[in-house]
């Protein structure tokens, strides 16, 4: 089950049924099944609070993924700062977004980024960021 919540912001205007089907498809491509995934859309202040409280990090970020996966079933809570997504979409905008606005494209990238973490793909070590970006791009092409 995939759920969508918000704190201090409105839930973004996404096609939830389509996005949920897409998430399940991407998970299946990585040999995983979707258990319980909760997306919590929030503002920068909330994500900073979560980052400080649970990770002892004192900075803003676009997504924080809490992984509760077991075996081949992915589950977790994913906090997404819509403020940071918007800022990043303005910074990273390219002319390749033919079907979505830069904001929608960035939001979908962050949504699937968290799922890819739940699938076991990391982005902090040497060379891992490039692998994550490749998987993100492959997933976005399926949307």
Domains of the chain (ranges; CATH) run 2-142 (3.40.390.30)
Centroid of chain to Cα 21:
15
Q: What is the pLDDT along the chain (143 residues), one digit of tens a residue?
A: 999 999 999 999 999 999 999 999 999 999 999 999 999 999 999 999 999 999 999 999 999 999 999 999 999 999 999 999 999 998 866 545 444 678 999 999 999 999 999 999 999 888 999 999 999 999 999 99
Whole-model pTM: value is 0.91
Residue 95: what pLDDT?
Answer: 47
- Helices within 1-143 (DSSP H only): 16-29, 44-55, 82-92, 102-118, 128-142
Residue 100: what pLDDT?
Answer: 61
């Amino acid at each position: 089950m995939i759920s969508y919540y918000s704190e201090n912001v409105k839930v973004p205007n996404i096609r939830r049924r389509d996005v949920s089907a897409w998430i399940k498809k991407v998970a299946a491509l990585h040999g995983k099944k979707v258990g319980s995934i909760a997306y919590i859309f929030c503002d920068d202040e909330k994500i900073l609070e979560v980052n400080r409280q649970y990770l002892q990090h004192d900075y803003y970020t676009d997504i924080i993924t809490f992984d509760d996966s077991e075996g081949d079933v992915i589950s977790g809570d994913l906090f997404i700062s819509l403020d940071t997504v918007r800022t990043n979409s303005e910074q990273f905008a390219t002319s390749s977004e033919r079907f979505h606005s830069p904001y929608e494209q960035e939001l979908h990238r962050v949504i699937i980024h968290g799922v890819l973490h739940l699938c076991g793909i990391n982005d902090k070590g040497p060379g891992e960021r490039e692998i994550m970006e490749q998987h993100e791009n492959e997933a976005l092409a399926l949307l």
